[in-house]
Amino acid sequence: MSLRLSTVILPYQRWNEGGRSPWTRAEQLGFHSAYTYDHLSWRTFRDGPWFGALPTLTAAAAVTDRLRLGTLVTSPNFRHPVTLAKELISLDDISGGRVTLGIGAGGTGFDATALGQEPWTPRERADRLAEFVPLLDRLLTEDSVSYEGDYYSAHEARNIPGCVQRPRLPFAIAATGPRGLRLAAQYGQAWVTTGDPKLYEEGTPEQSVQAIRGQVDKLTDACAARGRDVQELDKILLTGFTPDRGRPLESLNAFVDFAGRHRELGFTEIVVHWPIADSVFAADEKVFEQIAMEAPAQLR
């Protein structure tokens, strides 16, 4: 099984002052997809420039031709399905059908309180995601939707002509808990994980692989419960949050070894962060480009 290599480009630069070049370069290097975070701000970048995900992806669509584009990930923290659906349909049209929506329950970071609310508990986030995803699925596949739920409503929401991709653009659902995995099994075209966050500080790469294997097993069970073959879902690993941290980007051989171990778990796509100097995502740009150009051939 060949393994696709993708990247995630953080929206921290003005478009005409360096923000555009990673997207065009990502296409030149042959990346399968380029994603961005859908946050209002993020961790150590909070006090610096940070731009919106969907306008950034729209601009990226205008300067690329083949590169798939998407979010890793969008969440209900500050999104509503009705307005999000309209923007996604527009982005899918502008890009010529190259959009993937990464979607998850969100967390307790800055996004969770930016609208003035208290952070939701894990159960509250799961409750909202369980309503958000099915409603968004309807909004992207039906011309007119009315709905009254516990958290979201829609009244004759029109979404004509729908997505370029049919029946809608693909969902890549980030989940490790049972409710999220059930959503991935029912609505996902892909599943996303960053590994087990409990292992990030003191775990080992070997422990991480075992934990991720367990996540894949739970996804397999969730799919079986719906009568679905787990092989129908792409499996995406967003790197940088396992105990390996930045080591896979230190050399071509290190990356091929890392990616190969995860391909054996069934992953079809590995996502690496575009290098950002003086940050947790710092990496040698020459090595990064060598990995982009040479690793996929070694992972076929």
- State residue 300's pLDDT score: 87
Beta bridge pairs of residue 148: 153
- State residue 2's pLDDT score: 79
From first CA to last CA, the distance across the chain in angstroms is: 6
- State residue 153's pLDDT score: 98
Tell me 47's DSSP state: T
Res. 1 pLDDT band, cuts 50 70 90? low
For 145-156, the pLDDT digits (tens) are 999 999 999 999
DSSP assignments along 48-87, one per residue: S----HHHHHHHHHHH-SS-EEEEEEE-TTT--HHHHHHH
Task: Note the pTM of the prediction, 2 decimals.
Answer: 0.97
Q: Which two tokens stand for residue 261?
A: 């171990």
For 268-293, the pLDDT digits (tens) are 999 999 999 999 999 999 999 999 99
Mean pLDDT over the full length of the chain: 97
**Residue 236 predicted with pLDDT over 80:** yes
- State residue 106's pLDDT score: 95
What span, in angstroms and rounded, lies between the C-alpha atoms of 47 and 51? 12
Counting residues of the chain whose pLDDT is more than 70, the rounded percentage is 100
Read off the pLDDT of each residue in 197-223 and give the average, rounded to a whole number.
97
Counting residues of the chain whose pLDDT is more than 90, the rounded percentage is 98
Q: Which two tokens stand for residue 119?
A: 């952070």
For 99-127, the pLDDT digits (tens) are 999 999 999 889 999 999 999 999 999 99
C-beta atoms surrounding 219 within 10 Å: 25
